[in-house]
Amino acid sequence: MINEDLLEHLESYLTERRKMLFSKVLAQRTRHFTVAVEDVYQLHNTSAVLRSCDVFGLQDVHVIEERLGKKMDREIAMGAQKWVDIHRYNDTKSCIARLRSEGYRIIATTPHKDSQYLQDFDVTEKAAFFFGKEREGLSEEVLSEADEFLKIPMVGFTESLNISVSAAITIQHATTKLRNSNLAWELTAEEILEKRFDWCKKSIRSIDDILQRYQKTHS
């Protein structure tokens, strides 16, 4: 549980503009959808996906680094790593297991013969969109475990899109459709408190000193 007195104390160090921005952004955040990125070679692509998740209101990103252990490209992410929760995995199996345990359908984004088009996707249930390597696409493990297959309609000569572009299109379409529905897609009150606390700590430079002083005066 979040200590609301401590949260109020920390927020006193923020400007009114920053506090209003937090409230505005959190009102649009969701965990109804999430994204998983599987062993992407180009670091900037993973970072760009993270940025798209922040822009379109997804709170969580799952990064599988089974073969390619790389750090997030902070320059491309444009600070999004501060506001989006990144969950890292050493293998695809553990990522899928966690997402299923949290009630997510596994959605493989691929031009699979059984894939449905993006505009036909049902947003009613929680879903995790999986995006794969630039050349090979998703692993056989994801394809065999997937509940559904999803593809973006394309009418040109080119038969594929860059992963970061595909993710941005998919997330934007799905979240727009979600927000136009009657579903309860928002974060819970407790989740909002947790993110306010987390974002406060990430926004205050002298946070360690402030927390120590608070603990001394309230112990």
Note the pLDDT tens digit of each residue in 27-54: 999 999 999 998 765 667 788 899 999 9
Measured distance CA(215)–CA(217) in Å, rounded: 6
**Cα–Cα distance list, 4 to 10, 20, 192, 196 (Å):** 10, 17, 12, 10
pLDDT in tens, 20-31: 999 999 999 999
* Structure confidence at residue 159 as a pLDDT band (50, 70, 90): confident
Measured distance CA(22)–CA(14) in Å, rounded: 10
Measured distance CA(123)–CA(151) in Å, rounded: 15
Mean pLDDT of 122-149: 90
Mean pLDDT of 175-181: 97
Identify the pLDDT of residue 41.
56
pLDDT in tens, 76-120: 445 667 899 999 898 999 999 999 999 999 999 988 767 899 999
Domain ranges in the chain are 28-185
For residue 197, what are its two tokens? 């606390």
pTM of the model: 0.91
Looking up tokens 């727009």 gives 176
Measured distance CA(45)–CA(210) in Å, rounded: 37
CATH of domain 28-185: 3.40.1280.10
Residues 6+ apart with CB under 8 A from 61: 34, 35, 36, 37, 49, 50, 53, 84, 85, 86, 87
